[in-house]
Amino acid sequence: MPTEAQIIETLFVSMSEAYNQGLSSAAPQWEKVATRVPSTGSASYYGWLKDLPGIAEWVGERQLVSLGQHGYSIENKKFESSILIDRDHVDDNQTGMYSVIAKNYGEQVALFPDSLAYPLLVAGFSTLCFDGQNYFDTDHPLGDLAESVYSNVVGDPSTDTGEPWFVFDDTKVLKPVVFQDRRPFVFKNLNPKGEYAWFNNKMPAGVDGRCNVGFSFPQLCIASKAPLTKANYEAAVTLLGTMKKVDGSPVGVRPTTISVGYGNRAAAKGLFESMLVDGGDSNIYYKDVEVVVSPYIS
User: What is the Rg, in whole angstroms, of the alpha carbon atoms belonging to the chain?
Assistant: 24
Per-residue pLDDT at 5:
67
Core vs surface per residue 173-184: b (16+ CB within 10 A) or e? eebbbbbbbbee
**Coil, strand or helix at 215:** strand
Q: Is 41 exposed, middle or buried (0-12, 13-18, 19+ CB in 10 A)?
A: exposed
Q: What is the pLDDT of residue 64?
A: 45
Q: DSSP letter at 64?
A: P
The pLDDT score that the predictor gives to residue 267 is 97
Q: How many CB atoms lie within 10 A of CB 245?
A: 18
What distance in Å separates the CA atoms of residue 236 and residue 154, rounded to the nearest whole number? Answer: 6
pLDDT per residue rounded down to tens, the chain (298 residues): 667 667 777 788 888 999 999 999 999 999 999 999 999 888 887 765 455 566 555 756 654 444 444 557 889 999 999 988 887 777 676 777 888 999 999 999 999 999 999 999 999 999 999 888 999 999 999 876 666 899 999 999 999 999 999 999 999 999 999 999 999 999 987 666 666 666 677 788 899 999 999 999 999 999 999 999 999 999 999 999 999 988 788 999 999 999 999 999 999 999 999 999 888 899 999 999 999 999 999 9
Q: What does pTM read for this prediction?
A: 0.86
Residue type, 100: V
